[in-house]
Structure 1
């Protein structure tokens, strides 16, 4: 197949001269001493010559410069064989190509979806105090119940969730609701105050909870250690845990795990 082009053969002794002809310090690679913008292909034998074919096709200056960069690299290539084929030449050229791409970072809002799995249980702290609902206020108390006082125990529904985004936290996300009610434990933070544990009445669906919405304070990370020790860390306020006081009949509150006067580990007594 005939084409309008050139077939030029360089010996290795001529490569330095070729480089000085192609590259110009004053031009800084912006111009070439030719009227047309040729495309180039090449054949190489490491023991003999470098054949450079130039044909008249529409090419950009960037493409020409990429070919020239590839030719310069060929002078220094070392292979086990004295010859290399089209695939090796293509790899050299592709290594020389510089591509720019603009990447915009999209922030994904974490969300949690219910997996329709629930655990019905009582919750006791490490001193065997049971969580009960206070009759005089909308709060929970930690009380040691005697025999025959089982009716005062609060049954909790632990609704399990799965994160829809990647997270480094391996604990189980869940909501703690009081059985047969629409009341849930929530961690809230009033202005200029530390996070507090409250009982929150919910009327809408909790199939999906997105971080930043009005119900994200219902979520806790449950982490189980040992045989039956569980901690409940607020998802909205990391580092704050559901805790009980060392003394009897005190309110259940949020505290940091470093607190020495609070108990943050609990035992779950399943009723399923």
Structure 2
């Protein structure tokens, strides 16, 4: 009788320990990362990363932005854990202008920048005095000028860092007329309305407008561009495990394969 009671107590105690263990395991919460992103291609790429991160105990939430200012404001004010929409020159300029301390946590992809035209089918056809519509994103000016220089349409003055070059830093021997800069998101509409001869359009907005950069761009940036799009975080957060996992997944072969297949050269993966 006593042996039966002792055995029953041991069994009950073992069941209690097992239940406690299950309760503790079930109470462990999945860590949530909220990342701000442009709709195309950034949010689309992040969507592919959701199941991969879930396996690592990370719940990825994506908040889509339609401009280039609010994602950094939201990150700096801790409404986001990270954002994914910009390149380093843009981030550096934003930090300087807004006295913020956001940093690069890892390079993910390159969106080859394009010059588009409804008027010209070949660069050699571009006439003196052609009008050029650019965005009001100052960090892109050097990028645009480099593209135009690559086809002999202007020359950046000697001694000037091309990345930080402005319209004041060029030898404009073809007398190109640069129109009043406009918001980057408005460039595809201006292109459709043929408001200028040449249009410098960010690839994410070109894709949203159903343009195919490799097919439609008159001039297209190459894979060696220094303008890789990054995961940006607040300083110090780049060392957090969840952020490192996010970058690792976005640089994985699975995501690289998706980028290559989905965008067919309009977006190029980068690995570090």
When normalised by structure 1's length, the TM-score is 0.24
Higher RCO (CA < 8 A, seq sep 6+): 2
The structure whose residues are more often strand, as a share, is 1
The structure whose residues are more often helix, as a share, is 2
When normalised by structure 2's length, the TM-score is 0.24
